[in-house]
Amino acid sequence: MKKVITYGTFDLLHYGHINLLRRAKEQGDYLIVALSTDEFNWNEKQKKCYFEYEKRKQLLEAIRYVDLVIPENTWNQKTSDIKEFKVDKFIMGDDWAGKFDFIETETRAEVIYLPRTPEISTTQIKRDLEAKKI
């Protein structure tokens, strides 16, 4: 069985997220999503989510491509997650291209950067909603 892992916040879940998860699942048999916790998002990214962690986790668990959701608590847990779950492929959007290449030397996982859906992002949704405020 080929295991795949990806990481993200997945706030304001949209079709770009679904596209990424579908294409990640196509890379293997079992998809693990490491979901950024609220604390990690705030402490490391200074980002506040619209939906709290448990709600975002419920949404991801309802998606047929996702087999397991685990918490992402630190930037540095990726190699230990890959080793613990015996992951074969590490998948991220191509906006992260090159940032995680070190994983191939520290683990047995192949690193793959998938193209993002260009016309949609959570950041864009938040900007559009803010612009529509009266």
Q: How confident is the model at residue 116, as a pLDDT?
A: 87
Q: How confident is the model at residue 109, as a pLDDT?
A: 98
- What three-state secondary structure class fits 120? coil
Q: How confident is the model at residue 134, as a pLDDT?
A: 53
**Topology classification of domain 3-131:** Rossmann fold (3.40.50)
Q: Please tell me the pTM assigned to this model.
A: 0.91
Distance separating alpha carbons of residues 45 and 23, to the nearest angstrom: 26
List the domain boundaries for the chain. Answer: 3-131
Q: Is the Cβ–Cβ distance between 37 and 72 less than 8 Å?
A: yes
Average pLDDT across each block of 10 residues of the chain; the chain has 134 residues. List them in order. 97 91 98 97 88 97 98 96 98 95 97 88 76 68
Q: What residues does 6 pair with on adjacent strands?
A: 33, 91
Distance separating alpha carbons of residues 120 and 125, to the nearest angstrom: 7
- What three-state secondary structure class fits 109? coil
Q: How confident is the model at residue 58, as a pLDDT?
A: 98
Residues 6 or more apart from 58 whose CB is under 8 A from it? none
Distance from the Cα of residue 95 to its chain's centroid = 12
As a residue count, the chain comes to 134
Identity (one letter) of the amino acid at 94? D
Active site residues: 45, 47
